[in-house]
Structure 1
Amino acid sequence: MNSRTLTTTSWFSVLRLAIVLMLLCGGLYPLISTQLGQALFPEQAHGSLVYLHGEAVGSRLAAQSFSEPRYFHSRPSAADYDPTGVSGSNLAPSNPELRQRVARDAAALSHQENVPVEKLPVDLVTASGSGIDPHISPAAAELQAPRVAAARGLPMDQVRRIIAENTQAPFLGVFGPTYVNVLTLNVALDQAERINP
């Protein structure tokens, strides 16, 4: 057996191995993992979509911009609420541009919610690292509750109850903060308003 035969044999072995690995890693593994994901975690595998009246209105994983007074507002987004352009602003706290933007937003929010600037929760004037964090703190939800209740003509007790129902505790009671998902909160309000017009 000469060296040319060995080289040809080696190339065929490498080619066979490449084809087998391509079929396993590029075909069989994604197919099995996708099917398992859809069987074990169907909601998450399909984007954690939130439905209102049978129609998908968004994902509980990505923030949306809400500007109407009848809705709870999300925190600011450095990505302009675009889940395909996830990013933070990368501006340091000492950056004049960031300070000006926060001061401007805080003044507008203070006027809108009729509270002093120093009483504003920090998450309502700062963007998250991803730019599309769908959560706000319970304090941020509580601050907006009077505006939402007035705009919808709902009793404050009912709005507070809906906030409490949409408040998530830390994972296993210790990992992460307590938070409120803005989209699910607004959808719950729309459903409550439809049930009790």
Structure 2
Amino acid sequence: MKNIISIIKFTVLIVILFAVIYPLTILAIAQFAPNQGKGETISVNGKVVGYQKIGQKFDKVNYFWGRPSAVDYNAAGSAGSNKGPSNADYLAQVQKRIDTFLVVHPYLKKSEIPADMVTASGSGLDPNISPQGALIQVKRVADARKLPEEKVKQLVEKMSNKPKVMGTETVNVLELNIALDQLK
């Protein structure tokens, strides 16, 4: 009986520590983080439209598309596909993405499609694509919006994020699409 009471006391202590005190401590610390720990949001006209570091699904022809997502852009389930380049299912999935991409971009050859446009990132939530991935979509987006291709191309170049020291150049798809909506 003495052991049972000790175990119950210990269990209550652990529950209070990890279910109450720890979360409240993390919440208090988050208040000092940018945006009070709610993430780096992007707002348009005072309305939050997305997060800077989390990819979103764009599949309309008048918007730039981001990387495919192994988790269908579900931020609660961040994960890669865990399938390697020798996996037949993975290869079939990539081929299906290539075929779909080529249907909407008939002016391209398969060899012109950057890998980031047909393969998911490790997290499945990458908000960025390569400038090449954006540039090959310029014709489709410009045609859909009845804009000059050169104007849309200049926007992509303007929205490209160059690395400060090392790394690769990227384009945030959500920020690019917001800027695209603001073009006249």
Range class of TM-score, shorter chain: 0.7 to 0.9
Contact 2:31 2:37 in 1 (8 A): no
Residue type of the alignment partner of 2:161: Q
Residue type of the alignment partner of 1:183: L
Partner residue, 1:36: 32
- 168, 173, 177: which one pairs with 1:186? 177
2:103 aligned counterpart, secondary structure: helix
Q: Point out where structure 1 has 5 or more consecutive residues left out of the alignment.
A: 1-14
- Tell me, yes or no, if structure 1 residue 150 matches structure 2 residue 143: yes
Shift of 1:111: 2.4
| Cα displacement string for residues 115-141 of structure 1 (whole angstroms, at most 9, x for unaligned residues) | 111111000010000001011000000
Contact 2:68 2:119 in 1 (8 A): yes
| Cα displacement string for residues 81-118 of structure 1 (whole angstroms, at most 9, x for unaligned residues) | 10001110000100000111111111221221121111
Shift of 1:173: 2.2
Shift of 1:30: 3.5
Q: 1:35–1:101: structure 2 CA closer, same or farther, 3 Å change rule?
A: closer
- 1:129 & 1:28 partners in 2: Cα distance? 31
- 2:85 & 2:65 partners in 1: Cα distance? 23
Q: 1:27–1:138: structure 2 CA closer, same or farther, 3 Å change rule?
A: closer
Task: Report the TM-score when normalising by structure 1.
Answer: 0.77
| Cα displacement string for residues 156-178 of structure 1 (whole angstroms, at most 9, x for unaligned residues) | 222122212221112x321x211
Alignment of 1:45-194 (within 5 A): 45-113=37-105, 114-170=107-163, 172-174=164-166, 176-192=167-183
Residue type of the alignment partner of 1:189: L
Q: After the TM superposition, which parts of structure 1 deviate over 3 Å for at least 4 consecutive aligned residues? A: 25-32
- 2:114 & 2:24 partners in 1: Cα distance? 49
What percent of counterpart residues are identical?
37
Shift of 1:32: 5.2
Q: How many residues align?
A: 172
- 1:66 & 1:88 partners in 2: Cα distance? 19
| Cα displacement string for residues 10-37 of structure 1 (whole angstroms, at most 9, x for unaligned residues) | xxxxx9xx8xxx6xx7488536522322
Q: Which has the higher helix share?
A: 1
Q: 1:27–1:140: structure 2 CA closer, same or farther, 3 Å change rule?
A: closer
Rg: which structure is higher? 1
Q: Point out where structure 2 has 5 or more consecutive residues left out of the alignment.
A: 1-9
- 1:26 & 1:98 partners in 2: Cα distance? 41
